Each structure stands twice: as C-alpha cells, then as structure tokens.
C-alpha cells in the first residue's frame, strides 16, 4: 500500500512540473485536458533531466531529482509567463463519464494484481526499469550484451525510466506500483478523448457515448490482450492528446501541444520516433498551407521538444551499437499477401471484439476537411507499421505480425474512434466548422 | 435518431465486450494457482512461474550484483527454456543472466543456475541446492 501511495505521487509531481509550461494550454482547454498536457510535459522534462544526468555520468537519486525538479519549477515560475486563463473543471458530467470512470477503476484494480501485465513487461520494460533503479541510470553496457537483443535495447527509455523513478519513490520495485502507471495513462487517454469530442463540437449524446466506447473498448483490449505495464498506452495517449490542436487551425498553443506530445511519443517507443516526425511535419505543413510561410518560432515550438528527445537517443543508440540488424532490410513487395492475411488475422484478435477496425478508419477520414490533419497523421503512422512488415528481416513474418499488430492498432484505435465520431454528423446539428481556441473559450 | 440508435448499440457491444474480458481476467486470476498455459502465456502466479521464483529466490540472495550467471532449464515443452531464461532475467535484475546455451555463458559466467534440471560439466562446482534446482560456481 505504501508503494502504491508513493507511486501515485509521481504523476502528481510530473503534472505540477508540467503546469509551469504555461504555453501548453490553449484558452479553451478544459481542466482535465490541461492536466493531461501537464503530465506529458512533466514526463518529457523528467526524461530530459535523466538523459542529461546519464550523459554527465551522475547517478540518479531522489534527492537530486527533487532538487532539480524544484529548481526547474521555481525557474519556470519566475521566468515563464503565467497563463491568465483559469481552467474549468467539467460541469457537464454524464452517463458516459460514469461508465468511463467505472472502466478505469475496474481495469486499474485488475492491473494492480499483475495478472494482465503484458509479457513485454517481464521480457524488457519491467526488467529495464528494475535494472535502471538498481544501477541508478540507464545501463547501456547491459543493453549492449549480445544475448540481450530480445530486450529491444534500441528502444527509447521513458517507460523504464518511469518505472525506475517509481521504484525509487516507492522504496523498491513492486509490480502493483508499476502497474498503477498504466491506470494513470488510461485516465489521461480518456481525458484527451473527452476533450477531443468536446472541442470537436460533438453533441452531448455523442460525447457521452463516444467516451464510453473509447473507455470500454480500450479497457476490454487492455485486459484481454494483457496490456498493463505496456508503453503502448503512451503512444495511444500521445495520439489522443493531439486531437484538439489538430481539429482547430494551427495556433501557438497547438504548436506546443503537438511538440510536447511528439516528444512524449518519441521518448516512449521506437514507433514513437516516426510518429513524432509525422506530427511535426503535419503541423508545420498546416502552418505553411495556412500562412504561405513558416515562422521560425512556430517551427521551433513544434519541432524542438521532439528533437531534444530524439537526438540524444539516436546518439546513444548509435554509440553503443544498439540498433538491431534485423530491424530493416530491402523492401519485399512479394510479402504483400502474407502481410494482408496476418494483419486481418491480428485485427480479429478476440480481445478487440471488432474495434480494431477503427485503426483502418484514418484513410477514410482524409476525405473530410475537419478530420484531415489527424487522419493524415494516423494514416502515415499506419503506413509506417505496414512498411516495417515489408522490410524487417525475419523468418516467421506471420508470427511476428500476429504478435504485435493487434497491439500497434491500439495506438490508433482510441483517437480514430473519436475522430470518426466527429466526422459523423448529427442530423439535427450539422458539423460545425473547425473551431478556434478563442471560439472554444466563448463556448458556454 | 438513427445515429443515436447506432451509438447506443455500439456502447452496448463495447460494454458486453468489457464485461466479458473483466470476467475472464478475474476468473483467470482466481484460478491462477492451478492454471497451465503454453510458455508464451505464462503469467505471475502460475505454477510454472511460482516454481521458478522459488528456485531463484535463494540464488538471488547469494549472488553478487552485476555478476554474470548462466541459466539452464529443460526445454520442455519445446521453446520453454528460452521463456524461462527471460523470466529468470526478470527475477534476477541485479545479475547478467545468460542462457546456458549461449556461447557467451562459457566465457563470462561466474555462476550457473539450473532450475528443473542438472548441469553435468566438469567446469562447474555445485555451490548449493535450490528448491527444484542447483547453484554452481564456475571453475576458472
């Protein structure tokens, strides 16, 4: 119980740290969504601090992290402008919120037992986290051992870093404390989906039903496919968190929001690196399309956070020879039939109960103007996953796809469900034009 | 009206799916002590993993941190040795656990652990008996 309490402190501290990044919040953003952005921002800052300590050869310690966190918090307090907008707690709670809360609590309680922990928590995420806790830093020598290639040594380290810092706070590596993080990411995912539905202008029934469907489908998959402790929640969260800025015309806050979500995704998983590149490219492309030019400040806001995460990761991974030779090979078009069959088989995984089909919706959502920016991001990410299947060097491609595509679809499904619901007009209320941040602020 | 109806049906389907998975998870957890599964589906609390934990617990206390340890277990059912090695690495995070079949084990390991099997090798000296296994010291 003490470990759980200690573990629950981490997201609060990350949120507090992130809350000093005032440009992250747009005028119309709700309190729950702001909290989501703040935790993402705090996690990115933590990752950068830990990376800096690793580069400097300084072992991690709670006292050092607390001192650095406090210095950053106070420095941001003094130097960064305060956000004059007060965030409003949701006043329109309904049955969908209640269902989502029930799902979140039930899922988290089951997750705490460790019974639905993803096998990868044993094989690499959890092992790395425990190892980094014991070694007080990322153990590159361990990652580089020849027999540890199954640990995905080339993956970015935010997920195991969060496990390690949780263990430091909890006084030891305890599975329930680690699993609590998944409950937190699930809660933030739901907050982002809720905000996407709200900022997308969905009517009240669609908002409630949409949130319920996202919660129930993600909760069912999370339990049936054993997803507790998986970094895939962070990918799904990053994509859901960019829905609001991608639904409105590009603006200053949107640049920051997309920049931080891109950095978070890039720090979470290797698949997050292309997602970050896609997010930054799409937002910059929208800027250029809307303004016929690209302001350097906008480019910096959007791209710098992800660059700050990706470049050190790339440097370390190349320096320690951690990229695996089987990661990519020549493009083999002849695999198309095998890939299609295996992808369809993976999508019919029981735990998805048909909801994996939502991962295929983004190409259709390209047809609609208001969902086009999100659809472009999700479609390109989907194409990246398929591209990897054409190039990876493996003997048993079918087994590989069956082992991971259902999980990769999870990155796309929650946000795609929200976007699809926004694209589905209500007869009584035609789809509104893309909202602006200022317009959302004026909404009752 | 049609949209509402379809959305309500979608919520109903998602709700039934969630309850089904919740029931499966809770039922599975309740029966974990007698559950059996292929190595790919092993989970904490299953007999196979409990046996492994029991075997490794005394070794964890005996082995120095960061020492290299070769790990062996029977490959029964086929492929199980590889999964047991990954579980052993998870359960011994302070040590570098190397599959006994890996050529690096012969070069680097200072100790060896056998769970559910025995290693007959003149380069190994038994150090202590483990529950369902044995800890060895590598002679150099």
Sheet holding B111-115, edge to edge: B96-99, B68-72, B111-115, B133-138, B124-130
The helix-helix angle for A95-112 and A204-224 (nearest 10°) equals 10
- Residue B25 and residue A115: Cβ atoms within 8 Å? yes
A213 contacts on B by Cβ (under 8 Å): 7, 10-11, 14
Q: What is the DSSP letter of A368?
A: S
Q: What is the pLDDT of residues B108-126, one digit of tens each?
A: 999 999 999 999 889 999 9
Give the residue from A282, A291, A427, A428 showing the smallest Cα distance to A366. A282
Q: How far apart are CA A331 and CA A78, in angstroms?
A: 52
User: Sign of dihedral through CA atoms A375, A414, A196, A16?
Assistant: negative
The average confidence (pLDDT) of chain B is: 94
Q: How far apart are CA A218 and CA A194, in angstroms?
A: 14
Q: For the residues of A139-208, what is the DSSP string, one character each? A: -HHHHT-GGGGGG-TTS-SHHHHHHHHHHHHHTS--HHHHHHHHHHHHHHHHHHHHHHHHHTT--HHHHH
B41 contacts on A by Cβ (under 8 Å): 119
CA distance A238 to chain B (A): 23
Nearest to B3 among A213, A217, A424 (CB): A424
Q: Does B64 touch chain A (CB under 8 A)?
A: no
A26 phi, psi to nearest 5 deg: -85, 160
- Residue B11 and residue A110: Cβ atoms within 8 Å? no
∠ at Cα A269 (A255, B41), nearest 5°?
A: 145
B29 contacts on A by Cβ (under 8 Å): 110, 113, 115
Q: Are B113 and B81 in contact (CB under 8 A)?
A: no
Q: Does A219 touch chain B (CB under 8 A)?
A: yes
Listed in sequence order, the residues at least 6 apart from A233 whose beta carbon sits closer than 8 Å to its beta carbon are A182, A185, A186, A189, A222, A227
Q: How far apart are CA A262 and CA A267, in angstroms?
A: 9
Measured from the Cβ of residue A292, the count of other Cβ atoms closer than 10 Å reads 7
B31 contacts on A by Cβ (under 8 Å): none
Q: How far apart are CA B97 and CA A392, in angstroms?
A: 28
Q: How far apart are CA A76 and CA A18, in angstroms?
A: 10
Residue B119 corresponds to which tokens in the numbers above? Answer: 């290693």
A106 contacts on B by Cβ (under 8 Å): 22
Q: Does B43 touch chain A (CB under 8 A)?
A: yes
Q: Does B24 touch chain A (CB under 8 A)?
A: yes
CA distance B110 to chain A (A): 16
Residue A27 corresponds to which tokens in the numbers above? Answer: 């005028």
Q: Are B64 and B58 in contact (CB under 8 A)?
A: no
Residue B47 φ/ψ region, left for φ over 0, alpha for ψ in the -120 to 50 degree band, beta for the rest:
alpha
Q: Does B60 touch chain A (CB under 8 A)?
A: no
Q: Does A145 touch chain B (CB under 8 A)?
A: yes
- Residue B44 and residue A175: Cβ atoms within 8 Å? yes
Q: How far apart are CA A437 and CA A442, in angstroms?
A: 9
Q: Does A2 touch chain B (CB under 8 A)?
A: no
Measured from the Cβ of residue A5, the count of other Cβ atoms closer than 10 Å reads 12
pLDDT tens string, chain B, 140 residues long: the values are 889 999 999 999 999 999 999 999 999 999 998 888 889 899 999 999 999 999 999 999 999 999 999 999 999 888 899 999 999 999 999 999 999 999 999 999 999 999 999 998 899 999 999 999 999 999 97
pLDDT tens string, chain A, 444 residues long: the values are 788 998 999 999 999 999 988 788 888 899 999 999 999 999 999 999 999 999 999 999 999 999 999 999 999 888 887 776 666 777 789 999 999 999 999 999 999 999 999 999 999 999 999 999 999 999 999 999 999 988 899 999 999 999 999 999 999 999 999 999 999 999 999 999 999 999 999 999 999 999 999 999 999 999 999 999 999 999 999 999 999 999 999 999 999 999 999 999 999 999 999 999 999 999 999 999 999 988 999 999 999 999 999 999 999 999 999 998 888 889 999 999 999 999 999 999 999 999 999 999 999 999 999 999 999 999 999 999 999 999 999 889 999 999 999 999 999 999 999 999 999 877 655 544 455 555 555 443
Listed in sequence order, the residues at least 6 apart from A132 whose beta carbon sits closer than 8 Å to its beta carbon are A60, A138, A139, A157, A160, A161, A163, A164
Residues, chain B, total?
140
Q: Are A44 and A162 in contact (CB under 8 A)?
A: no
Q: Are A88 and A204 in contact (CB under 8 A)?
A: no
A355 contacts on B by Cβ (under 8 Å): 14, 17
Listed in sequence order, the residues at least 6 apart from A304 whose beta carbon sits closer than 8 Å to its beta carbon are A259
Q: What is the pLDDT of residue A242?
A: 98
Q: Are strands B111-115 and B68-72 parallel, antiparallel or unpaired?
A: parallel
- Residue B89 and residue A127: Cβ atoms within 8 Å? yes
- Residue A119 and residue B40: Cβ atoms within 8 Å? yes
Nearest to B93 among A131, A147, A213 (CB): A131
Q: How far apart are CA B16 and CA B12, in angstroms?
A: 6
CA distances from A213 to A355, B15, B22 (A): 9, 8, 16
Listed in sequence order, the residues at least 6 apart from A223 whose beta carbon sits closer than 8 Å to its beta carbon are A107, A110, A116, A351, B18, B21, B22, B24, B25
pTM above 0.90, yes or no: yes
Q: What is the pLDDT of residue A443?
A: 44
Rg (CA), chain A: 21
CA distance B100 to chain A (A): 11
User: For B27, what's the count of Cα atoms within 13 Å in the CB-facing half-sphere?
Assistant: 7
Rg (CA), chain B: 21
Give the residue from A385, A32, A416 showing the smallest Cα distance to A217. A416
Nearest to B90 among A122, A147, A220 (CB): A122
Which of the residues B2, B9, B17 would you substitute to probe the A interface, choosing the one with the greatest number of A C-beta atoms within 10 Å? B17
Q: How far apart are CA A11 and CA A17, in angstroms?
A: 10
Q: What is the pLDDT of residue A89?
A: 75
Task: Collapse the DSSP code of A271 into the 3-class scheme (helix H, G, I; strand E, B; otherwise coil) and give the result.
Answer: coil
Q: Distance between terminal CA atoms of chain B?
A: 80
> Helices (DSSP H) in chain B: which residue ranges?
2-30, 47-62, 80-91, 103-108
Nearest to B18 among A113, A130, A216 (CB): A216
Q: What is the pLDDT of residue B127?
A: 94
Listed in sequence order, the residues at least 6 apart from A426 whose beta carbon sits closer than 8 Å to its beta carbon are A203, A206, B3
Find, in chain B, the residue whose alpha carbon is nearest to that of A173: B93
Listed in sequence order, the residues at least 6 apart from B26 whose beta carbon sits closer than 8 Å to its beta carbon are A110
Find, in chain A, the residue whose alpha carbon is nearest to that of B11: A213
- Residue B15 and residue A173: Cβ atoms within 8 Å? no
Q: How far apart are CA A285 and CA A235, in angstroms?
A: 22
- Residue A217 and residue B3: Cβ atoms within 8 Å? no
Q: How far apart are CA A266 and CA A262, in angstroms?
A: 6
Find, in chain A, the residue whose alpha carbon is nearest to that of B29: A115
């Amino acid at each position: 119980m003490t470990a759980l309490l200690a573990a629950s402190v981490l997201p609060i501290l990350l949120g507090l740290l992130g809350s000093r990044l005032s440009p992250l919040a747009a005028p119309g953003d709700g309190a729950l969504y702001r909290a989501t952005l703040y935790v993402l921002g705090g996690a990115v800052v933590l990752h950068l601090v830990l990376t800096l300590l690793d580069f400097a050869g300084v072992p991690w310690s709670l006292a050092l992290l607390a001192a650095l966190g406090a210095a950053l918090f106070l420095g941001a307090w003094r130097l960064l402008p305060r956000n004059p907008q007060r965030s409003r707690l949701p006043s329109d709670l309904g049955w969908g919120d209640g269902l989502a809360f029930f799902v979140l609590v039930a899922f988290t309680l089951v997750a705490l037992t460790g019974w639905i922990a993803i096998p990868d928590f044993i094989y690499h995420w959890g092992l790395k986290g425990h190892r980094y806790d014991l070694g007080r830093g990322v153990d590159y020598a361990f990652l580089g051992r020849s027999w540890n290639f199954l640990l995905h040594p080339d993956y970015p380290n935010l997920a195991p870093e969060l496990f390690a810092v949780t263990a430091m706070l909890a006084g030891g590596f305890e599975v329930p404390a680690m699993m609590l993080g998944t409950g937190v990411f699930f809660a933030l995912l739901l907050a982002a989906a809720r905000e996407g539905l709200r900022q997308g202008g969905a009517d009240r029934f669609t908002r409630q039903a949409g949130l319920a469907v996202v919660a129930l489908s993600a909760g069912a998959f999370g339990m049936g496919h054993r997803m507790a402790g998986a970094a895939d929640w962070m990918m799904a969260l990053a994509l859901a968190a960019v829905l609001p800025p991608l639904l409105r015309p590009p603006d200053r806050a949107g640049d920051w929001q997309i920049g931080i979500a891109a950095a978070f995704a890039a720090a979470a998983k290797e698949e997050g690196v292309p997602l970050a590149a896609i997010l930054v490219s799409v937002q910059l492309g929208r800027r250029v399309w809307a303004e016929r030019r690209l302001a350097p400040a906008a480019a910096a806001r959007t791209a710098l956070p992800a660059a700050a995460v990706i470049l050190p990761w790339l440097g370390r991974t190349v320096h320690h020879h951690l990229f695996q030779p089987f990661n990519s090979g020549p493009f083999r078009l002849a695999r198309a039939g095998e890939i299609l069959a295996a992808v369809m088989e993976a999508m019919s995984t029981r735990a998805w109960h048909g909801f994996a089909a939502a991962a295929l919706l983004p190409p259709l959502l390209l047809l609609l103007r208001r969902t086009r920016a999100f659809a472009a991001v999700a479609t390109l990410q989907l194409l990246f996953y398929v591209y990897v299947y054409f190039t990876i060097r493996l003997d048993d491609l079918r087994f590989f796809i069956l082992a991971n595509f259902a999980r990769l679809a999870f990155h796309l499904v929650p946000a795609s469900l929200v976007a699809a619901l926004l694209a589905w007009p209500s007869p009584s209320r035609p789809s509104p034009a893309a909202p602006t941040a200022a317009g959302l602020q004026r909404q009752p | 009206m049609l949209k509402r109806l379809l959305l309500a049906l979608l919520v109903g389907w998602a709700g039934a799916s969630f309850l089904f998975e919740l029931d499966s998870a809770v039922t599975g957890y309740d029966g974990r002590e007698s559950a059996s599964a292929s190595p790919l589906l092993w989970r904490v609390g299953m007999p196979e993993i409990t046996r492994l934990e029991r075997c490794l617990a005394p070794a964890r206390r005996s082995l120095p941190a960061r020492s290299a340890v070769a790990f062996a277990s029977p490959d029964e059912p086929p492929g199980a040795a590889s999964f047991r090695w990954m579980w052993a690495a998870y359960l011994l995070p302070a040590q570098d656990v190397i599959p006994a079949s890996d050529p690096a084990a012969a070069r680097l390991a200072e100790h060896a652990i056998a769970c559910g099997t025995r290693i007959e090798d003149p380069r190994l000296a038994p150090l202590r008996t483990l529950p369902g296994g044995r800890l060895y010291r590598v002679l150099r």
